[in-house]
């Protein structure tokens, strides 16, 4: 890589970082205002809100990276163009192709950053954020696994294997301990449903342990003193889009073996696969903005158009994902079409300026 290409890449990365900081600040402020409405729920206070927002930053970073990549690239290249630096480079014999190679190096760097944040930092931070929020609001702590999730409710440790679309639980195990961490009872139930502001366990088998041994009792139905209600499930269960790719693959395999719907998880998997490529495509689109029909437009105009294109891509990407689920389209197609469509627009723009 030449000195000029490094200079172009450095300028674009600096502009992208600046745009990303501005967008992160804006969205964090909006999230802060939204979270203020929940202060007072349980023990949820300002300190918990700030911790939740700090741990949610990787999620916002990951979501905003494609838009920031486009705006930062347009801003960086536009700045070089407005100061006639690109003109000097062209006059010195630097072709648009070489300038584009420098831009694509930035795209590659952003792809690596997106992969690292999305697969390493984001899942752990998001789960921790939800645990803090859950503990403060409901008094329970939850941990999601590919085979269900665990919750702690006082001295009860609960494992729920599956959650059905109507909010019922299946295959529940409840372990109760005393103050000295001795196991007192193990309760197994086939199903739990929320009725009349409380949980009802069905087909219950309970084993009680004491110094005289174990005693087993059964019941058709029994009450379950569980702090969570169906409206809180979104808080304590990490959505599939926050899981790393390897966990998604394992959970998809588990659901498939048990003949359960996997479309939502497959969609999340393909969206995560396409996300780094989307960031690269947004950088690629910046070149036609600077050398194409908008080359004579003021920098403010280019930024406005870039913002509209970036927001349009984000909205189209999210909308087509939901459309694919509703109409039963292949998850890989629903996830890939917006990215490849905008890549095609970028390729068409590049052909026009060569």
Considering the domain architecture, whether residues 251 and 106 belong to the same structural domain is answered as yes
Q: Is residue 231 part of a domain?
A: no
Last residue of a domain, one of 164, 196, 226: 226
Sheet holding 141-145, edge to edge: 141-145, 148-153, 156-163, 169-177, 183-195, 198-210, 213-224
Angle CA 70–101–275, to nearest 5:
40
Q: Is residue 234 part of a domain?
A: no
Q: For residue 29, what pLDDT is reported?
A: 94
Domain containing residue 73: 3-138+242-353
Considering the domain architecture, whether residues 207 and 73 belong to the same structural domain is answered as no
How many CA atoms are closer than 13 Å to the CA of 149, on its beta-carbon side? 19
Considering the domain architecture, whether residues 343 and 197 belong to the same structural domain is answered as no
How many CA atoms are closer than 13 Å to the CA of 189, on its beta-carbon side? 25
- Whole-angstrom Cα distance, residue 66 to residue 114? 9
State the SS3 of 301-329.
HHHHHHHHHHHHHHHHHHHHHHHHHHHCC
Considering the domain architecture, whether residues 214 and 254 belong to the same structural domain is answered as no
Considering the domain architecture, whether residues 35 and 107 belong to the same structural domain is answered as yes
Name residues whose C-beta falls within 8 Å of residue 83's C-beta, 6 or more positions apart in sequence: none
Q: For residue 190, what pLDDT is reported?
A: 92
Considering the domain architecture, whether residues 159 and 133 belong to the same structural domain is answered as no
Q: Is residue 318 part of a domain?
A: yes
CA neighbor of 315 nearest in space, from 115, 117, 66, 60? 66
Beta bridge partners of 22: none
Considering the domain architecture, whether residues 115 and 174 belong to the same structural domain is answered as no
Q: For residue 186, what pLDDT is reported?
A: 93
Considering the domain architecture, whether residues 111 and 159 belong to the same structural domain is answered as no
Considering the domain architecture, whether residues 218 and 290 belong to the same structural domain is answered as no
Q: Is residue 266 part of a domain?
A: yes
Query: At residue 125, what are phi and psi to the nearest 5 degrees?
Result: -65, -40
- Whole-angstrom Cα distance, residue 12 to residue 29? 26
Q: What is the pLDDT along the chain (354 residues), one digit of tens a residue?
A: 578 878 888 888 998 999 999 999 999 999 999 888 888 877 888 888 999 999 999 989 988 888 888 888 888 887 887 777 877 887 777 777 787 788 888 888 888 898 898 888 988 888 788 778 877 776 655 555 556 777 777 788 889 887 765 677 888 999 999 888 889 999 999 999 988 778 899 999 999 988 778 888 999 999 888 877 666 565 556 667 777 787 778 777 766 775 667 788 888 888 888 888 888 888 888 777 776 654 555 666 666 777 778 778 878 888 888 888 888 888 889 989 999 998 888 888 777 766
Q: For residue 25, what pLDDT is reported?
A: 93
- Whole-angstrom Cα distance, residue 149 to residue 143? 6
Q: For residue 96, what pLDDT is reported?
A: 76
b/e sequence 176-187, b meaning 16+ C-beta within 10 Å: beeeeeeeebbb
Q: For residue 32, what pLDDT is reported?
A: 92
Number of domains in the chain: 2
- Whole-angstrom Cα distance, residue 139 to residue 152? 9
Considering the domain architecture, whether residues 332 and 348 belong to the same structural domain is answered as yes
Q: For residue 79, what pLDDT is reported?
A: 80
């Amino acid at each position: 890589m030449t000195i000029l290409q490094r200079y172009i890449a450095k300028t674009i990365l600096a502009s992208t970082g600046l745009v990303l900081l501005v967008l992160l600040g804006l969205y964090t402020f909006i999230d802060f205002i939204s979270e203020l409405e929940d202060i007072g729920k349980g023990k949820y206070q300002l300190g918990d809100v700030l911790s939740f927002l700090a741990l949610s930053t990787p999620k916002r970073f990951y979501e905003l990276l494609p838009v920031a990549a486009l705006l930062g690239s347009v801003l960086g290249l536009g700045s070089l163009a407005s100061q006639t630096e690109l003109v000097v480079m062209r006059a010195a014999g630097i072709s648009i192709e070489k300038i584009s190679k420098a831009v694509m190096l930035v795209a590659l760097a952003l792809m690596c950053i997106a992969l690292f944040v999305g697969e390493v930092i984001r899942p752990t931070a998001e789960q921790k954020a939800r645990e803090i929020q859950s503990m403060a609001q409901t008094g329970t702590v939850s941990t999601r696994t590919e085979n269900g999730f665990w919750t702690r409710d006082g001295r009860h440790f609960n494992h729920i294997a599956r959650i059905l679309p109507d909010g019922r639980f299946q295959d529940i195990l409840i372990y109760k301990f005393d103050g000295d961490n001795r196991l007192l009872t193990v309760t197994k139930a086939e199903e739990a449903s929320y009725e009349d502001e409380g949980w009802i366990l069905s087909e219950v088998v309970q084993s009680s342990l004491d110094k005289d041994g174990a005693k087993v009792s059964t019941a058709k139905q029994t009450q379950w003193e569980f702090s969570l209600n169906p409206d809180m499930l979104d808080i304590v269960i990490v959505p599939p889009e926050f899981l790393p790719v390897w966990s998604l693959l394992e959970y998809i395999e588990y659901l498939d073996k048990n003949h359960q719907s996997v479309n939502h998880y497959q969609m999340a998997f393909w969206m995560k696969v396409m996300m780094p490529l989307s960031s690269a495509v947004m950088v690629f689109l910046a070149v036609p903005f600077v050398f194409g029909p908008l080359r004579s437009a003021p920098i403010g105009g280019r930024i406005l158009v870039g913002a509209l294109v970036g927001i349009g891509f984000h909205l189209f990407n999210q909308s087509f994902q939901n459309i694919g689920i509703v109409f039963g389209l292949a998850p890989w197609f629903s996830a890939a079409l917006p990215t490849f469509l905008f890549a095609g627009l970028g390729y068409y723009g590049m052909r026009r300026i060569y």
